[in-house]
Amino acid sequence: MNRTADVAALSIGGLEISLVQGGRPVPVVTGVNLSVNKKEVLGLVGESGSGKSLTSLAATRLLDPRVVRTTAGSVKLFGKELLTLPEAEMRRVRGKEIGIIFQDPMTSLDPAFTIGYQLNCGLRWHTDLTRAAARNRVLELLGLVGIGDPRRRVDQYPHQLSGGTRQRVMIAMAIACEPKVLIADEPTTALDATTQAQILELIASLATTMEMATVITTHDLGVVADVCDRVAVMYAGQIVECATTDELFYRPKHPYTERLLQSLPGVRAGRLQGIPGQPPRSGRFPQGCRFAPRCPYARPGCSADDPELTRVQTDHAARCLREAELELTGVGA
Amino acid sequence: MSGVNGVTKHAGSAPLLTLRNVSRRFVTGRDFLGRVQQSVCAVDNVSIDVEPGTTLGIVGESGSGKSTLGRLALRMIESDAGEIDFSGEDLRRLSPKDLRQLRPQMTMIFQDPYSALNPRWTVGRSIAEPLRINGSSTREETHSAVVDMLARVGLDADAMHRRPAAFSGGQRQRIVIARALITRPRLVFCDEPVSALDVSTRAQVIGLLEDLQRDLGLTYLFVSHDLGIVESVSDRIAVMYLGSVVEIGNAETVAREFRHPYTASLVSAVPAPDPRAQRVRRRIVLSGDPPSPVDPPSGCTFHPRCPLAEPICAREKPPLLIDAAGHGVACHVTQGSTDLIGANLLARMTDAREPGISTTLPVRVPAPDSAPASASMP
């Protein structure tokens, strides 16, 4: 997949994440392979419990090792292995080379400090900017993420800002040191529809102008339609389909992707179609294809054999035993 | 008591719920003597009708007063002015005792199914609680009502002995719905009922709400910030901005032939799950945040963010003028025009957009050309 660059900006291979609380580790994410190139935006889509956030947090080693641990696989930043890096060196990577935007701007900012102070902290830790230079950089960053009147805003506290502005501050923090990789974990879930559009457009344009490799996780496929170049769909701890955005939307090859698209308002006339049943609980995955119990196309064989993620085209892979025989409906059919 | 089990639909088209010029102000700051220094007009002079058996969708950003309006309509909070009529009863004048008798007919479904259920109570106890408060059923009646309700919302009867922690978000929302419907209400206020749920579960819960409406003849007041969802469930839609209804009409009309610039911006903010359509479509990304309701702008409250604003918009607040088809718009600019509708209005707004802060960054996917004709909605 690395056609534009020899080495992917971020590549995750064979990642397995397990719950380690009490007794034997229970794998909750298995066999995840992903790679993102410079200037590319990858959407990581899945329902709650699918492992999308765990995957993105594992890439930055932010998982709490007392609860969840990366038990196998590798995470490489321009070919450099991150999982075995000493913590002291990892701290130099986090925030400097990998920027992270968290889901909830309400709880990710410290209410006791001004946003200027919080932006300043990371900057001065990672760089040798002087106090004055750092302050100028903070003002510049606030302007860059579209916050009006940065001089006034910089001395305000998080509670004085709206949800959208707080998320902009989070973005400013993430890009402060001009990272090469940006990970946005459900950046718009906590926001209103109008603000959501603004924030997505901002992230996408920053990814282009700053030449970052970007991963956006979300549970809403509609969100990624226009900002992502490629989309990986996760279900029950596995990637079930991965393709370019157009391929995935117009020619889905996995029943779960098809059903997820049909769940969105505006895709088909009349009633919204949900997916019957519930996703399996983390770690208690069914035998064979993990989606089979909810799949309208499931055959007895589906619960017996474990499907592999197989390439069906260049830039399109799906994990379905019946992929070749199924005619799935995409968007706008 | 006028029919606790009143599933009977009103004949004709007498509205089940009527709000006339309802307002509510919240005090947000007092001086040291306790005098009001600062207040927020959360709901400002709002009039709506809801026909029995239909769904009125209320859409707006956070802080627009949509949830407050719903709470006022159920008299969960008191209104400052106006009239609220629920099936012929003037809700604002009812004594606490009469109001309590009417309560079972008006219930509520909350946004967050994780905090709406008591984690220490069994599901059965939570669902039966409204009947217990009502005090009109025997143990056996209550039990069979709970079993029946669980079946209606698609849960097994043995769910009643378990606690909320054993259920997923979607299942918990089903429990919350069961609790809201156990008293056989006529009006249900759904306050962002699916915002906290995953996309696939969301569609399930909406389908369930639609089935229950049909089977039980329910009337919904459906509040959400997502116009896509509101459009798919509603018969009529009211769009709120800073406490006022700026546009109201049939769901189809408001979503396709909208005439208010704010509705247009909401429509263009709905993510279309179609990459190609999304690329040719030009979004109106509103610059800035919604203004503070503490100090709302003069005239039309939307004018500072509106690309079409004219001098009059800053001076006078436009009235909500409703045409014969029941489509109401509060906008000086589009009221006088016959062609500023739907896609045309959107095209005009993107052309008139000032290069604000949010557009100074290079736009990732530039529109192929800038002819207004290319800006049609998908």
Residue-wise pLDDT tens digits, A252-310: 999 999 999 988 887 766 677 788 888 888 778 898 999 999 999 999 889 988 899 99
C-alpha closest to that of B245 among B46, B81, B106:
B46
- The tens digit of pLDDT for each residue in A172-188 reads 999 999 999 999 998 88
- Say if the Cβ atoms of B270 and A195 lie within 8 Å: no
User: Once rounded to an integer, what is the mean pLDDT over residues B133-141?
Assistant: 86
3-state secondary structure chain B: CCCCCCCCCCCCCCCCEEEEEEEEEEEEEECCCCCEEEEEEEEEEEEEEECCCCEEEEECCCCCCHHHHHHHHCCCCCCCEEEEEECCEEHHHCCHHHHHHHHHHEEEECCCCCCCCCCCCCHHHHHHHHHHHHCCCCHHHHHHHHHHHHHHCCCCHHHHHCCHHHCCHHHHHHHHHHHHHCCCCCEEEEECCCCCCCHHHHHHHHHHHHHHHHHHCCEEEEEECCHHHHHHHCCEEEEEECCEEEEEEEHHHHHHCCCCHHHHHHHHHCCCCCHHHHHHCCCCCCCCCCCCCCCCCCCCCCHHHCCCCCHHHHHCCCCCEECCCCCEECCHHHHCCCCCCHHHHHHHHHHHCCCCHHHCCCCCCCCCCCCHHHHCCC
- Kindly state whether residue A165 falls inside one of the protein's structural domains: yes
- Kindly state whether residue A284 falls inside one of the protein's structural domains: no
pLDDT of residue A275: 87
**Distances, alpha carbon B287 to alpha carbons A270, B116, B225, in Å:** 34, 35, 18
- The tens digit of pLDDT for each residue in A147-159 reads 888 898 999 999 9
Where in the sequence is the domain holding A120, given as residue range(s)? 10-235
- Kindly state whether residue B247 falls inside one of the protein's structural domains: no
- The tens digit of pLDDT for each residue in B322-372 reads 998 899 999 999 987 888 898 889 888 888 764 443 433 333 333 333 333
**b/e B273-309 (16+ beta carbons within 10 angstroms → b):** bbbbbbbebbbbbbbbbbbebeebbebbbbbbbbbbb
Cβ–Cβ contact A251 with B under 8 A = no
Mutant choice from B208, B289, B353 vs A, greatest count of A C-beta within 10 A: B289
pLDDT of residue B368: 39
Partners of A183 in the beta sheet? A100, A215
Cβ–Cβ contact A104 with B under 8 A = no
- Within this chain, do residues B229 and B300 fall inside the same structural domain, yes or no? no
Q: How many CB pairs under 8 A join A and B?
A: 155
Residue A81 pLDDT > 90, yes or no?
yes
Cβ–Cβ contact A160 with B under 8 A = no
User: Once rounded to an integer, what is the mean pLDDT over residues B27-53?
Assistant: 88
- Say if the Cβ atoms of B273 and A264 lie within 8 Å: yes
- Kindly state whether residue B112 falls inside one of the protein's structural domains: yes
- Kindly state whether residue B168 falls inside one of the protein's structural domains: yes
CA–CA separation, A160 and A168 (whole Å)? 14
User: Once rounded to an integer, what is the mean pLDDT over residues B310-325?
Assistant: 91
User: Once rounded to an integer, what is the mean pLDDT over residues A14-40?
Assistant: 90
pLDDT of residue B135: 83
Mutant choice from A194, A221, A245, A248 vs B, greatest count of B C-beta within 10 A: A194
Structure tokens at B314: 């800053």
Pick the range with the lowest mean pLDDT from A234-248, B165-179, B201-215, B288-302. Answer: B288-302
The model's confidence at residue B285, banded by pLDDT at 50, 70 and 90, is: low
User: Once rounded to an integer, what is the mean pLDDT over residues A202-223?
Assistant: 90
Structurally, how many domains does chain B consist of?
Answer: 2
pLDDT of residue A21: 77
- Say if the Cβ atoms of B203 and A276 lie within 8 Å: no
Residue A61 pLDDT > 80, yes or no?
yes
Q: What percent of chain B stands above pLDDT 70?
A: 87
Instruction: Establish how many alpha carbons lie within 13 A of residue A260's alpha carbon, considering only the half-sphere containing its beta carbon.
Output: 29
> CB-CB: which of B269, B275, B288 is closest to A197?
B269
- Kindly state whether residue A5 falls inside one of the protein's structural domains: no
- Within this chain, do residues B272 and B136 fall inside the same structural domain, yes or no? no
CA–CA separation, A312 and A255 (whole Å)? 14
CA–CA separation, B32 and B35 (whole Å)? 7
- Kindly state whether residue A92 falls inside one of the protein's structural domains: yes
Q: What was the ipTM of the complex prediction?
A: 0.78
- Which chain A residues are closer than 8 Å to B306 by Cβ? none
How high does pLDDT run on average in chain B? Answer: 85
> CB-CB: which of B206, B277, B357 is closest to A272?
B206
- Say if the Cβ atoms of A266 and B273 lie within 8 Å: yes
- Say if the Cβ atoms of A194 and B266 lie within 8 Å: yes
- Kindly state whether residue B7 falls inside one of the protein's structural domains: no
pLDDT of residue B210: 93
Cβ–Cβ contact A246 with B under 8 A = yes
The model's confidence at residue B196, banded by pLDDT at 50, 70 and 90, is: confident
The model's confidence at residue B131, banded by pLDDT at 50, 70 and 90, is: very high
CA–CA separation, A198 and A217 (whole Å)? 17
Give me the CATH number covering residue A225: 3.40.50.300
Query: Which of B240, B275, B306 is where one domain is finished?
Result: B240
- Which chain B residues are closer than 8 Å to A261 by Cβ? 273
- Please give the helix or strand (H or E) that residue A310 lies within, else none: strand A310-313
- Within this chain, do residues B103 and B148 fall inside the same structural domain, yes or no? yes
- Within this chain, do residues B350 and B234 fall inside the same structural domain, yes or no? no
Mutant choice from B111, B252, B364, B377 vs A, greatest count of A C-beta within 10 A: B364
More confident of the two residues B285 and B138: B138
Q: How far is B206 from chain A (nearest CA, A)?
A: 8
- Within this chain, do residues B351 and B232 fall inside the same structural domain, yes or no? no
- Which chain B residues are closer than 8 Å to A149 by Cβ? none
> CB-CB: which of B170, B200, B227 is closest to A193?
B227
Cβ–Cβ contact B355 with A under 8 A = no
- Kindly state whether residue B6 falls inside one of the protein's structural domains: no
Angle between helices B139-152 and B123-134 (to 10 degrees): 130
pLDDT of residue A130: 92
User: Once rounded to an integer, what is the mean pLDDT over residues B148-172?
Assistant: 92
- Kindly state whether residue B145 falls inside one of the protein's structural domains: yes
Where in the sequence is the domain holding B356, given as residue range(s)? 262-375
Structurally, how many domains does chain A consist of?
Answer: 1
> CB-CB: which of B169, B276, B279 is closest to A48?
B169
pLDDT of residue A43: 95
- Within this chain, do residues B123 and B67 fall inside the same structural domain, yes or no? yes
- Kindly state whether residue B257 falls inside one of the protein's structural domains: no
pLDDT of residue A269: 66
Residues 28-67 of B with CB under 8 A from A: 61-62
- The tens digit of pLDDT for each residue in B232-284 reads 999 999 999 999 999 999 999 999 999 999 999 888 888 778 888 777 766 66
The model's confidence at residue A195, banded by pLDDT at 50, 70 and 90, is: confident
How high does pLDDT run on average in chain A? Answer: 89
pLDDT of residue B355: 45
Give me the CATH number covering residue B45: 3.40.50.300
- Within this chain, do residues B220 and B112 fall inside the same structural domain, yes or no? yes
Mutant choice from B199, B227, B262 vs A, greatest count of A C-beta within 10 A: B199
Cβ–Cβ contact B288 with A under 8 A = yes
- Kindly state whether residue A294 falls inside one of the protein's structural domains: no
The DSSP code for A272 is P
What type of residue sits at position A208?
T
CB atoms closer than 10 angstroms to residue B85: 17
- Within this chain, do residues B211 and B284 fall inside the same structural domain, yes or no? no
CA–CA separation, B122 and B112 (whole Å)? 18
pLDDT of residue A33: 94
- Kindly state whether residue A187 falls inside one of the protein's structural domains: yes
pLDDT of residue B353: 65
